[in-house]
């Protein structure tokens, strides 16, 4: 049987997704990118192959995406993460209109039309405010595991504000809140709110469609999703594993190109 793969090597994590010829997901892997993006792509690919019990020869075509898309050795071609997230989100949610993807160093809002085709998109400016890296830095400052931040935030009792949109300045705001003895839960909520506020601006710029889907690592933070839903006035759906959507999109493109 022939399989297709998508490898997404981003600034913080690398993902690989394998799909079969009927577009079913056979396996996926998520690994930290580390300091060697080429190796990260290869490792993610091999891990996914191992899980599915497949060999490289079983995969007829590989596409890459993400910031290191041009460096993925196994890939025949590459697509931008904008196209791939649109494609991947469409796979799970065929009625999707607007996609919000917050990855390691980029946040974006994508307006899609039929078949998940990109109509318009808006991305953060040069700065990393409101991205996954922002969240990671704040988790570090708070000494809270990244994946526990939303649990904490959702139990917040006091409303605090982080006003700076700059990651470096926001971190010092967090540090000063800590020194004032504020509860980590409340600070976590303030951090989530800062990200949501910044992202809501992007979403408004491309247009809010009825069906919103959020992808990328930050979508795993339920507090951010909840606040963002409120800010844009629509329920935001999140796929079960939002982090693999880019790689899934790349795999779907690989399969399509093969059919041509």
Q: Which residues contact other proteins (rule: CB under 8 A)?
A: 67, 79-83, 106, 117-121, 123, 125-126, 205
Q: What are phi and psi of 11, to 5 degrees?
A: -75, -30
| Residues forming a β-bridge with 224 | none
Q: Which is nearer to other proteins, 12 or 123 (CB)?
A: 123
Cβ at position 184, least distance to other proteins in Å: 32
Cβ at position 191, least distance to other proteins in Å: 23
How far, in Å, CA of 44 to CA of 28, rounded? 8
Cβ at position 245, least distance to other proteins in Å: 15
DSSP assignment of 66-100 equals: STTGGG-TT-SEE--HHHHHHHHHHHH-TT--EEE
Cβ at position 216, least distance to other proteins in Å: 14
Give me the torsion for CA of 5, 10, 15, 18, rounded to 10°.
-10
Within the chain, strands assigned E span: 3-9, 13-20, 25-32, 59-65, 77-78, 98-102, 107-112, 118-123, 212-215, 236-237
How far, in Å, CA of 68 to CA of 76, rounded? 14
DSSP assignment of 188-209 equals: HHHHHHHHHHHHHHHHHHH---
Cβ at position 41, least distance to other proteins in Å: 16
Q: Which is nearer to other proteins, 125 or 143 (CB)?
A: 125
Cβ at position 105, least distance to other proteins in Å: 8
* Residue in this structure with the two tokens 């830095």, named with its chain if needed: 137
The tokens of 54 are what?
């497949």
Q: Which is nearer to other proteins, 184 or 217 (CB)?
A: 217
Q: Which is nearer to other proteins, 242 or 246 (CB)?
A: 246
Strands 236-237 and 212-215: parallel
* C-alpha 45 chain-centroid distance: 18
Q: Which is nearer to other proteins, 108 or 220 (CB)?
A: 108
Q: Which is nearer to other proteins, 79 or 255 (CB)?
A: 79
Q: Which is nearer to other proteins, 66 or 239 (CB)?
A: 66
Cβ at position 115, least distance to other proteins in Å: 13
């Amino acid at each position: 049987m022939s399989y297709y793969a998508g490898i997404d090597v981003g600034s913080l994590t690398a993902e690989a997704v394998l799909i079969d010829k009927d577009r079913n997901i056979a396996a996926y892997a998520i690994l930290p990118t580390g300091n060697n993006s080429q190796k990260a792509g290869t490792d993610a690919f091999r891990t996914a192959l191992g899980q599915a019990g497949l060999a490289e020869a079983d995969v007829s075509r590989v596409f890459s995406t993400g910031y290191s898309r041009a460096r993925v050795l196994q890939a025949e071609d590459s697509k931008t993460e904008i196209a791939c997230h649109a494609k991947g989100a469409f796979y799970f949610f065929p009625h999707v209109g607007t996609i919000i993807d917050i990855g390691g160093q980029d946040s974006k809002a994508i307006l899609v039309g039929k078949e998940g085709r990109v109509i318009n998109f808006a991305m953060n400016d040069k700065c990393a405010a409101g991205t996954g890296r922002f969240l990671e830095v704040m988790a570090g400052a708070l000494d809270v595991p990244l994946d526990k931040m939303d649990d904490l935030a959702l139990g917040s009792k006091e409303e605090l504000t982080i006003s700076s949109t700059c990651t470096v300045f926001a971190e010092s705001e967090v540090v000063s809140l800590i020194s004032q003895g504020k509860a980590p839960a409340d600070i976590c909520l303030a951090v989530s709110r800062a990200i949501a506020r910044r992202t809501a601006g992007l979403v408004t710029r491309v247009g809010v469609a009825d069906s919103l889907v959020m992808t990328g690592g930050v979508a795993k933070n339920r507090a951010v999703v909840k606040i963002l839903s409120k800010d844009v006035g629509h329920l935001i759906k999140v796929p079960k594993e939002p982090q693999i959507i880019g790689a899934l999109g790349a795999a779907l493109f690989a399969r399509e190109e093969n059919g041509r």
